[in-house]
Structures are given as structure tokens and as C-alpha cells.
Structure 1
Amino acid sequence: MKEALFLNPVFQDRIWGGTQLHDYFGYNIPSDKTGEDWAISAHPNGPSTVKNGEFAGKTLIELWSEHPELFGNPKDPVFPLLTKILDANTDLSVQVHPDDAYAKVHENGELGKTECWYIIDCEKDAELIYGHHAQSKEEFIKMVENGEWDKLLRKVKIAPGEFYYVPSGTIHALGTGTLVLETQQSSDTTYRVYDYDRKDADGNTRELHLEKAIDVTTIPHHDAKLDIQVEKRDGATVTTFVSNDFFSVYKWDIDGNAAFKATAPYTLVSILDGNATLYIDQVATPVQKGDHFILPNEVQSWSLDGTITAIVSTP
């Protein structure tokens, strides 16, 4: 039967995590330091399992290797995308990620990490670190060595509904009081540059990765140029945030009945608000805030009837 693959969340405790994944989405979280929901993941550090249908209980890793037809028989050795929801109850460490070429050599063949953020919700004066002010590698190193963080780091005020594209090489960090959906390459490689001298539960400061961070940071910083497109159609407004070699990311604002056709071998959908009915071949399935699912290759058309906001990605 043609159907969506609904996925169970995988929660990750983080030093900066909180309770928003429960408070906002109603998830049954493991602790009051729950920082991440790996919502659609085939990464070995937190693979999703299928909730429904003939593949119930299978991990996304198993599906990718055993049933490539679900994904259009891809050439990628690993499922290339990872969808997360992050609860930054306090500031995240200042960090940077490598590109594919650097990660392949230095991280045992792991993918690089280009990512992007959709701000679901945030406190009134919330901000994030996006880029830096150093004009040369020498200046960057000097500011890091001297701990001139206020001078080095570029802070940006944020608001719900905004979108930020974070290519590999970009210095970045989410700030306190931010709830974000992150679409990224399927990678868990992070180089910490600064962590506010915090100590973990055992009283240890967390490891920094300055040498690798200096290797991969884009200097000077330049903002990624985005060409955001908005298309209004029957029952839906579709916003295209970004479309490149790594992923395409869209927002669906649906109010009424909206029909869709597949534009990629498979489609990842995260419902951020509201509820609706998903129709595939006239079979109805309810979807609601907090649901995450994949529309596999055999599902070439579908419709949604209701009122929802969703973030959607394709490879």
C-alpha cells in the first residue's frame, strides 16, 4: 500500500537543553535537559524508527539499505538528510562545521555539515551568532587566543518565522530561548570554538576543537545569498527557502485543501502547527502538530485538507 512513513522521535539530552519539546509539541521527553529531537534521522548516533505499516519497527538506516526503491534507488551510500528540532534553553556553544571534503579526510568519511534553521518560536530579545568580524585568519586566531568574543562574534536579533542558511564554514550558535527546526546534512561533526567556560555535570569543561575550527572557518564571513520564493496556490502558500546541491527546504502554509505532486525521489515533512488529513490514493490519514513523516518514492501525488504549517525538505 502506498503510504507515508511516520517516524518516532529520538531525543538527545544536552547541557543547554530544556523542556520546550514537551511544552510546545507535547512530546514525552526523557529529562528537563532535552535539547534535540532527531525527528527524521538515519544517522547511527540516533536513527529514527518507523511507527506504522509494513515497516513498523525498522530503522531508517535499515530501510535505506534494504528497500532503496522507497527512495528512488539512490546512489548515496547513506541517507543524506537529518531533520531536528532544537530547544536552546540556554546558549549553545559557538561552533563551526566542516564541508564534505574536510570531513571525509578528518572524520572517518562522515559527511560535512551544511544546515539551515527555521525559527519556530523564540523569546522577545532572542538572538543567534551568525558569522564573525575577523578580516583575516591571523586576526581570527588573535581574537580567539585573546578571548575577544564580543569583538569577534556577530550577533543577530531573531523572530519567529525567520529562516537562516548556515553553510559549512560558518561560525554560528543558537542563543537562549530559541526553538528551531534544523534541516542539515546527515552529520554529527561539530567543532566547538567557545563554550562560555561552562562545566558539564561532572564539573569538566567541554572539549574545544580550535585547530580544526580554524582550518574550516570561512574568513572573512559573508552572508549566504538567499532567493526566497513565495507561491500561492489553491489552499496553500508554498515558500521556497533554499534549493541547492544539499537539500531543498520549503514551508507549506495550508488552509483548506491543497494538492501536491512529487518534485524529488522522496519528501520529508514536519508538521509544526495545526492538524489536517493527508490523502494518498483516497486513503485518509490524520496528521497533527509534532508529526514527522516521509513520503516515499511510490507516492507521486497527495493532498492535505486542514490548517497546518509544515517545513518540508527534499534531497
Structure 2
Amino acid sequence: MQYYIKNRGVIDVEPLFLKPVFQEKIWGGNQLHTVFGFDLPNDSIGEDWAISGHPHGVSVVENGPYKGWQLDKLWAEHRELFGNAEGDVFPLLTKILDAEDDLSVQVHPDDAYGLKHEGELGKTECWYIIDAKPGSEIVYGHNAQTREELAEMIENGQWERLLRRIPVKKGDFFYVPSGTIHAIGRGILILETQQSSDTTYRVYDYDRKDEQGNKRELHVQQSVDVTTVPAISPELEVQETKHGESSIISYLKTDFFNVYEWEVAGRLSLTKEGAYTLMTVVEGYGNLIVDGQTYEMQPGSSCILPSAIQTWALEGEMKIIASTPGK
């Protein structure tokens, strides 16, 4: 596929498939291998940074004219691929998380606090539950009514009184704005769409110790500073449209990202809705067809559709979580 850029000539454009970046975690497991077939360095891998321009785990393009390019460099030097979008950093990050054990109870700052105190964006995120073992649950919100009560309950370790726990199942979706106290529980496999930030403030970590016998650092004061009090439970306006046997579910349209589920049963034709599109296969197999070219898709396949790609089709039996930059 080609398109013309003034003063640049003809540029080859095709989907940008990205190599996964694995992150070892104290709570990680091996489902990124058993479910998605990734070759893991060990059995404590908690995260696949599937699409990332963040310096803590930058994706590398695996195909086409930009093969070998890092996503952050591509963003800096070929902004035309992203509709000449503004911003110093690639704004989105897609992860797959394998919670073999409970993640810490945590909270993320908004942009203003993150930029002032950490030098990077805040972190609003959302979760699609790929799978969950029976009895799995998440921490989602808290019961403190004032910031003073929040600090007191944290100080006194009143976790059962403070934290709201919600059972989850495969196919659930949650919006987690900055300021939301949250934790992914053990036995859950998640696709996370988030701002490109790695700032996490730990509220509580179950007094766990690492291999050296040290407890992980907590960030109590920062957590109290940035937590939304009282807690807010966002109302989702989920919309589903059928396309033959296939369907499109719109989960979120926010200032940070718009998130969709594409359930492909046979064929699904799609048209560009954002400056560029991120997509990750969470289940099943099929093909992505762009300008007459066919690309095989399997669980864990992740790519970016650059701005010049206006239409595409999906064939097979698969579920994909897709996102575009915020409205």
C-alpha cells in the first residue's frame, strides 16, 4: 500500500505489527505462554507490553518498510503515520496482564500531578477481562468519605472496611480513571488500554516480600493526595451493533482513548474512526485484509493501523480489542 506526502514522495504503508515486550512481576505467571504461545524467559511474566512507546518497554516494528524501528522513534520522526497527531510521546499503551497472584492495591495520578511530580503523563486505564478463574475478584474503589478518613483507614490497615471488591468473569469491562483505588486479583487475565505512563502509587501490598526478603515500597502520601474522594463509579454507555454474524461493541469514548471490541464471525468490514487504530487479538484466529494484502492474526497479535489506512476487513473467528486516541 502506498500514499503520497508532499515533499516526501511515495511512502509504503501497511499495518505495523509489533514485537511484545515482557515484564517480570512478583505476581506474574506463564499464561502469556500457555494461552498466547509467547516464548517467555521464565514463569513469572506478569505483563506483555503489546503496543508501547514508553521508555520502560518500547515496542519494535516487525514488518514492512519500518521493520526494526522503535515506536517512540517512529512517532518522533514519522508523525504523518499517526495523522500528524500532537504530543511529545505516543499517548497510548496496550498491555496483556497475567495475574497469577494478587496485584498490589494501587492508584494512579492524573496528568497534572503526574507531570509535576513524576515528569510523565497520569494514568487512566480500562480493563477487558480475557479470562477469570471461578471466584476471581478485583478491588475497584473505596468506602472513605473524606481524605482524612482515607488516610486514617490506610494508617490503621482497615482494608476490609476500606476496599470495595467486585467479582469478575470473562468478557467483563471496567473503566479505571486516574484517582481510582484498584487491584487486579489472582486468576485474572486482562487486556489493558491505558495512557502511556508507568507511574503507580502502591497503597497496600499484602506485606509481601521479594526474593531478597524486602517489602516493596509503598506510596501512602502520594496515594492519599491523588485518590478521588468519595470514590466514583463511572457509568458506561456500552453500545453494540451487529454486522451479520459479527459485531462491534463500543465500550468507551473519553479524552484519553476510545475502546472497542470487534467480534469476528466470518467477515467484518471496518472504516477508520480515529487518527490511527491499535488492535490486539484476545481470542481466536483469522486474517486482517488491507488493500488486498492478507495478514495472519492469532491470539496476542498486535498492530497499529496508520492514518492512511482508511478501510480494512477481518475474516475468521476471533475477538479483538481495539482503540483509537481520545476524542
| Class of the TM-score when normalised by the shorter of the 2 chains | over 0.9
Tell me, in whole angstroms, the C-alpha distance in 2 between the residues paired with 1:294 and 1:235.
25
Aligned equivalent of 1:38 = 49
Listed one character per residue, the Cα deviations across residues 223-255 of structure 1 (whole Å, up to 9, x for unaligned) are: 011100111123520000111100000000011
Alignment pair present for 1:59 and 2:70: yes
Q: 1:9 aligns with which of 15, 20, 25?
A: 20
Tell me, in whole angstroms, the C-alpha distance in 2 between the residues paired with 1:241 and 1:113.
18
After superposition, residues 254-269 of structure 1 pair within 5 angstroms as 254-269=264-279
After superposition, residues 119-158 of structure 1 pair within 5 angstroms as 119-158=129-168
Matched to 2:41, the amino acid is P
Alignment pair present for 1:89 and 2:100: yes
Matched to 1:44, the amino acid is P
Aligned equivalent of 1:270 = 280
Alignment pair present for 1:209 and 2:219: yes
Alignment pair present for 1:223 and 2:236: no
Tell me, in whole angstroms, the C-alpha distance in 2 between the residues paired with 1:284 and 1:137.
54
Tell me, in whole angstroms, the C-alpha distance in 2 between the residues paired with 1:312 and 1:236.
15
Alignment pair present for 1:21 and 2:50: no
Tell me, in whole angstroms, the C-alpha distance in 2 between the residues paired with 1:186 and 1:235.
34
Query: How high is the TM-score relative to the length of structure 2?
Result: 0.95
Tell me, in whole angstroms, the C-alpha distance in 2 between the residues paired with 1:231 and 1:91.
35
Tell me, in whole angstroms, the C-alpha distance in 2 between the residues paired with 1:97 and 1:151.
21
Instruction: Give the CA deviation at 1:273.
Output: 1.3
Q: 2:256 aligns with which of 246, 258, 270?
A: 246
What 5-or-longer segments of structure 2 have no aligned partner? 2-12
Tell me, in whole angstroms, the C-alpha distance in 1 between the residues paired with 2:67 and 2:26.
32
Query: How high is the TM-score relative to the length of structure 1?
Result: 0.98
Superposition RMSD on alpha carbons, in Å?
0.8
Tell me, in whole angstroms, the C-alpha distance in 2 between the residues paired with 1:277 and 1:234.
18
- Superposition misfits of 4+ residues, deviation over 3 angstroms: none
Matched to 1:70, the amino acid is L
Q: 1:184 aligns with which of 194, 199, 206?
A: 194
Matched to 1:181, the amino acid is L
Listed one character per residue, the Cα deviations across residues 176-230 of structure 1 (whole Å, up to 9, x for unaligned) are: 1110000000000000000001111111100001111100001111201110011
Instruction: Give the CA deviation at 1:84.
Output: 0.2
Tell me, in whole angstroms, the C-alpha distance in 2 between the residues paired with 1:187 and 1:228.
26
Listed one character per residue, the Cα deviations across residues 241-298 of structure 1 (whole Å, up to 9, x for unaligned) are: 1111000000000111111110111000101111112111111221111100010011
Matched to 1:211, the amino acid is Q
Tell me, in whole angstroms, the C-alpha distance in 1 between the residues paired with 2:97 and 2:315.
28
Matched to 2:49, the amino acid is W
Percent pairwise identity:
55
Tell me, in whole angstroms, the C-alpha distance in 1 between the residues paired with 2:296 and 2:32.
21
Tell me, in whole angstroms, the C-alpha distance in 1 between the residues paired with 2:294 and 2:105.
44
Q: 1:69 aligns with which of 80, 84, 106?
A: 80
